[in-house]
A and B are shown apart, each in its own frame.
Chain A
Amino acid sequence: MATVAEALADLSVGRRLKVLPLEELYTSGHRTCQGCESALVMRYMAKVAGPRTVVTGTTGCMYVANTSYNSTPWVVPWAHTQLGAAGSSALGTAAGLEALMRKGKIPREKINVIAFCSDGGGGDMGLSGISAAMQDTRYNLLILLYDNESYANTDIQASGMTPWGAVTSFTPSGTKKKISQHRWKKNVPALLMAGHPQGRYFASASSGFGMDLMEKVRIALDVGGPTFVQTHDPCPKGWDFDPRRSHELAILAVECGITVLWDFLEGELRYQGVTRQLVEGALKRRPVAEYLQIQGRFAHFGDEEIDYFQSQIDEMWEQWLLPGVLPATAIPQELELGTAAGRGRSEDV
Chain B
Amino acid sequence: MTTIEKPVSTPGPAGGGPGYQEEILTGCDAVAQSLRLLDVDVLAGYPIRPYDAVMATVAKMIANGEMDAEFIIADSEHSQFEIGKHASLVGARSFIGSSGVGWMYGMEALVVTSSLRLPVVALVGNRALDDPGAFGVEHNDALMVRDTGWLLYWVETAQEALDMTLMAYRVAEDHRVMLPCALSMDGAFLTHSQHVVQVPGKAAVERFVPQYDLGDRRLHPDNPISVAPQFNEDWVMEARRQSDAAMRRVPGVIEEAAAEFKEVFGRGPEDPFVEAYMMQDAEYALVGMGTVGMVGKVAVDQMRAQGKKVGFLRVKWFRPFPASRLRSLLGGLKGIGVIDRDYSFGSNAWGGVLYTEVAAALYASGSRPVVVPFIAGLGGREVSVQNMVEIQGVVEQHIASQPAEVDCHWIGVREHVGKGGER
The CA-CA distance from A129 to B77 in the complex, in Å, is: 10
Across the interface, B229 reaches (CB within 8 A) one of A69, A84, A90, A106, namely A69
Does B403 sit at the interface, judged by CB under 8 A? no
Leading 10 A-B pairs by shortest Cβ distance: A92-B86, A96-B92, A96-B87, A88-B79, A79-B227, A88-B82, A92-B83, A80-B228, A99-B41, A132-B75
Residues of B within 8 A of A323 (CB): none
Does A42 sit at the interface, judged by CB under 8 A? no
Interface residues of A in 81-122 (CB under 8 A from B): 81-82, 84-85, 87-93, 95-100, 102-103, 105-106, 111
**Interface size of B as a range:** 35 or more
A residues near B, CB below 8 A?
51-54, 56, 63-64, 67-72, 74-82, 84-85, 87-93, 95-100, 102-103, 105-106, 111, 128-129, 131-132, 136, 138
Does B418 sit at the interface, judged by CB under 8 A? no
Given known contacts A75-B224, A77-B223, A80-B228, is B79 in contact with A100 (CB within 8 Å)?
no
- Cβ A92 vs Cβ B85 within 8 A: yes
- Cβ A79 vs Cβ B89 within 8 A: yes
Across the interface, B92 reaches (CB within 8 A) one of A53, A76, A99, namely A99
Across the interface, B82 reaches (CB within 8 A) one of A85, A102, A103, namely A85
Does B345 sit at the interface, judged by CB under 8 A? no
Q: List 17 A-B contacts (CB under 8 A).
A: A68-B229, A69-B229, A72-B229, A76-B221, A78-B226, A79-B228, A80-B227, A84-B78, A89-B85, A92-B84, A92-B94, A93-B86, A93-B87, A95-B92, A97-B90, A132-B73, A136-B72
Interface residues of B in 106-139 (CB under 8 A from A): 108-109, 112
A-B contact count (CB 8 A): 160
Report the minimum CB–CB distance from B106 to chain A (whole Å): 10
- Cβ B221 vs Cβ A96 within 8 A: no
Given known contacts A69-B235, A92-B83, is B224 in contact with A77 (CB within 8 Å)?
yes
Does B376 sit at the interface, judged by CB under 8 A? no
- Cβ A72 vs Cβ B221 within 8 A: no
- Cβ B89 vs Cβ A93 within 8 A: yes
The CA-CA distance from A76 to B224 in the complex, in Å, is: 5
The CA-CA distance from A132 to B74 in the complex, in Å, is: 7
Does B230 sit at the interface, judged by CB under 8 A? yes
Given known contacts A54-B90, A92-B84, A100-B92, is B79 in contact with A128 (CB within 8 Å)?
yes
- Cβ A95 vs Cβ B226 within 8 A: no
The CA-CA distance from A69 to B92 in the complex, in Å, is: 26
Across the interface, A69 reaches (CB within 8 A) one of B70, B224, B231, namely B231
Interface of A is mostly: mixed
Residues of B within 8 A of A56 (CB): 86
Given known contacts A93-B86, A100-B91, is B75 in contact with A82 (CB within 8 Å)?
no
- Cβ B229 vs Cβ A92 within 8 A: no
Extra contacts besides A77-B221, A100-B91 (19): CB < 8 Å? A56-B86, A77-B219, A77-B225, A77-B226, A77-B227, A79-B228, A82-B78, A88-B78, A88-B79, A88-B80, A93-B90, A95-B72, A96-B91, A97-B220, A99-B69, A111-B221, A128-B76, A132-B73, A132-B79
The CA-CA distance from A172 to B171 in the complex, in Å, is: 53
- Cβ A99 vs Cβ B42 within 8 A: yes
The CA-CA distance from A95 to B112 in the complex, in Å, is: 19
Does B234 sit at the interface, judged by CB under 8 A? yes
- Cβ B228 vs Cβ A91 within 8 A: no
Give per-residue flags for B374-395: 1 if the beta carbon is below 8 A from chain A beta carbons, else 0.
0000000000000000000000
Does B275 sit at the interface, judged by CB under 8 A? no
Interface residues of B in 275-305 (CB under 8 A from A): none
The CA-CA distance from A55 to B322 in the complex, in Å, is: 40
Across the interface, B220 reaches (CB within 8 A) one of A54, A69, A82, A88, namely A54
- Cβ A54 vs Cβ B221 within 8 A: yes
Does B44 sit at the interface, judged by CB under 8 A? yes
The CA-CA distance from A63 to B85 in the complex, in Å, is: 18
Give per-residue flags for B205-239: 1 if the beta carbon is below 8 A from chain A beta carbons, else 0.
00000010000000111011111111100110000
Chain A's closest residue to B83 (CB) is A92
Residues of A within 8 A of B39 (CB): 103
Report the minimum CB–CB distance from A137 to chain B (whole Å): 12
Residues of A within 8 A of B211 (CB): 105
Residues of B within 8 A of A93 (CB): 86-87, 89-90, 219
Residues of A within 8 A of B91 (CB): 96, 100, 105-106
Does B88 sit at the interface, judged by CB under 8 A? yes
Residues of B within 8 A of A89 (CB): 82-83, 85-86
Residues of B within 8 A of A97 (CB): 90, 92, 220
The CA-CA distance from A77 to B219 in the complex, in Å, is: 6
Given known contacts A52-B221, A95-B72, is B79 in contact with A87 (CB within 8 Å)?
yes
Residues of A within 8 A of B94 (CB): 92, 96
Residues of A within 8 A of B225 (CB): 77-78
Residues of A within 8 A of B220 (CB): 54, 77, 97, 106, 111
Interface residues of B in 227-266 (CB under 8 A from A): 227-231, 234-235
Chain B's closest residue to A115 (CB) is B86
Does B22 sit at the interface, judged by CB under 8 A? no
- Cβ B226 vs Cβ A74 within 8 A: yes
Across the interface, A100 reaches (CB within 8 A) one of B72, B85, B90, namely B90
